[in-house]
Amino acid sequence: MSGARPPLVAALRRRLRPVKRALVGPAGLLLGLLLRATSRKLGVALVFHRVGDPPGDPAVELVPAQATALVRGQLALLARHYRVVPASELRAAAARRRRFERFPVALTFDDDWAGHAAVALPLLRAAGMRATFFLSGATLERPFDFWYERLQQAVDAGIAVPPHVPSTARERIHALAAEVERLPAAERDALVAAIAERLGPPPAEGLPAAAVAALVADGHEIGFHTRRHDTLPFLDDDGLAAALRDGREALAAAVGRPVDTIAYPSGKADARVVAAAADAGFREAWTTMPTAVGPDSPPLWLGRVYPPQEERGRLALVLARALLDARGASATPPAPTAQLTTAA
């Protein structure tokens, strides 16, 4: 029997799709208002990456840009219905929350995208909000591309780099990135070098020291995101210690104060990584586990939620869902992952 829907049902679904989209925002806001009547001591951290125009395509881009107008609208929604605080204050703000008060939300931005200073900074300034930027510091003095940026560039240019990057990679960019992510560091570095031979040096983008200083001058927090963006659970103990150390002092020097918070690269960590982060002196660490944060959340295993790339009203539903399901706020890190290699 065919699994295709009858034409009438398919047509009805198409007609109802705009109605469904129109109801998402009001439904999220209503649910959020109902939750405010509770005494839940929770907050939510949002994680952004690239902000700017034109917006990216999540189907074929590893880190698609979120449209400037969309983010501006999301910040406006947060200003009306939530209380935006820096990430370092989120757990304390959640602990102080009382019934009928707004839930606290923290804004975080990962990686060293030029749009952090060129686009996000003016938006935050206009909204009167402070955020936390988790940076590698790799572009403080010179251009640098992470491995996934080089992979995206090769795929977009149709450059095949056997055996890992076929000429038809664009249709399966996310699966390909997952494969490359798990390569031993030396093998991944060799792949990046092969791409660089074809593409040349990285473009002069990123966040130089002056841009980082501009973020700090506006009162934004700076955390660490590791110098190489290796996936930490895959590293052996020496490589893990190096990843948590290398580049941190240089970033702190650019910021003008110690850097004692971290966002794990790709949001991935396990119990061994959490222990290593504690040994390295980090005070708070953030994953991309999509959960709310509470006063009892493990400080080195904090969740963050991705804002939607669709209309701004959907953000209200995303936040309400995170606050509704509070089970993850006290989750513990998983057992250590099988290690692959030492970082080169």
The vertex-68 CA angle with 65 and 69, nearest 5°, equals 130
Give the number of residues written for the chain. Answer: 344
- Residue 254 contacts by C-beta under 8 Å, 6 or more apart in sequence? 137, 140, 209, 212, 213
Segments of the chain assigned E as strands = 44-48, 83-85, 104-110, 132-135, 221-224, 261-263, 284-286
Computed on alpha carbons and rounded to an integer, the radius of gyration of the chain in Å comes to 21
- In the structure encoding, which two tokens stand for residue 8, read together? 């009438």
User: Max alpha carbon distance in the chain (Å)?
Assistant: 67
Tokens, residue 227: 């110098």
* Dihedral sign of CA atoms 139, 144, 149, 152 in order: positive
- Work out the pLDDT band at 12, boundaries 50, 70, 90: very low
Residue 284 pairs in a beta bridge with 261
- Residue 109 CA neighbour count, 13 Å, CB half: 25
Higher pLDDT, 269 or 338: 269
Q: Which residue, among 306, 319, 317, has the nearest Cα to 24 in the 3D structure?
A: 317
Quote the mean pLDDT of the chain: 88
Which is it for the CA torsion 154, 157, 308, 135, positive or negative? positive
| pLDDT of 342 | 42
Residue 335 pLDDT > 90 = no
Tokens of 50: 């690239």
Give the whole-angstrom CA distance, residue 303 versus residue 293.
6
Residue corresponding to tokens 């990686």: 111
Identify the weakest region by mean pLDDT among 70-74, 115-119, 200-204.
200-204
Share of the chain above pLDDT 70, in %: 87
| pLDDT at residue number 16 | 45
Task: Answer whether residue 165 shows pLDDT above 50.
Answer: yes
| Band of pLDDT at residue 268, cut at 50, 70 and 90 | very high
pTM above 0.85, yes or no: yes
The residues, any chain, with a CB within 8 Å of residue 95's CB and separated by 6 or more, are: 41, 294, 295
Q: Pick the residue with more confidence: 35 or 242? A: 242
Phi (first) and psi of residue 229, to 5 degrees: 65, 35
What pLDDT is attached to residue 19?
Answer: 43
Contacts of 291 (CB under 8 A, 6+ apart): 303, 305, 322, 325, 326, 327, 328, 329, 331
Q: Which amino acid is at 251?
A: L
* DSSP conformational letter for 161: B
Give the chain's domains with CATH numbers: 7-144+202-330 (3.20.20.370)
Instruction: Give 160 or 97, the one with higher predicted confidence.
Output: 97
**For residues 142-146, average pLDDT:** 86
